[in-house]
Amino acid sequence: MSKIVVVNGPNLNLLGKREPEIYGTRSLADLNDMLRARAAELRVQVSLFQSNSEGEIIDFLQKEAPGSAGVIINPGAFSHYSLALYDCLQALALPVVEVHLSNIHAREKFRSKSVTARAARGVITGLGFDGYKLALEYLTEQGGKH
């Protein structure tokens, strides 16, 4: 069964409590439940991870992503400045879908630039939890072709 790696970056552990008018009222556990359920329907395995630490995310991706069918990542604020995460994603040489819950182009100017997006095959921004679901469907459909 192919595996898809899903990573959420800093402050996404606070989903549901953090600025609910922007990020919604559902929690990270709700997001993970939704992804597990959709993955079961699609017959793929998901490996779910959240960290507030850049180094932990990079360590996790280096260990977990090789051999997977692809990566779904919401790098949170790391999107806007982490060249280390960009290098990591680039080195994986896997299809990456970057997801943002909010539309980063419709908010503060500093959010509209994502340095990590350059390493992504595509970016889904502003569709809330549906963005992750669409990314999962896309990577499943790709089926490890890359």
Check binding of 116 to ligand DQA (CB under 6 A): no
Q: Is 132 noted as a catalytic residue in this protein?
A: no
Query: Under rule CB under 6 A, which residues in 64-103 are in contact with ligand DQA?
Result: 74, 76-77, 79, 100-102
DSSP assignment of 14-75: GTTTS-HHHH-S--HHHHHHHHHHHHHHHT-EEEEEE-S-HHHHHHHHHHHSTTSSEEEEE-
Q: At its nearest, how many Å lie between ligand DQA and the CB of residue 69?
A: 22
Strands 96-100 and 70-74, sheet pairing: parallel
Structure tokens at 34: 């939704």
Structure tokens at 109: 């100017």
Q: At its nearest, how many Å lie between ligand DQA and the CB of residue 93?
A: 23
Choose which of 2, 11, 32, 90 interacts with ligand DQA (CB under 6 A): 11
Interface ranges with ligand DQA (CB under 6 A)? 11, 74, 76-77, 79, 100-102, 104, 111
- Catalytically active residues are 23, 100
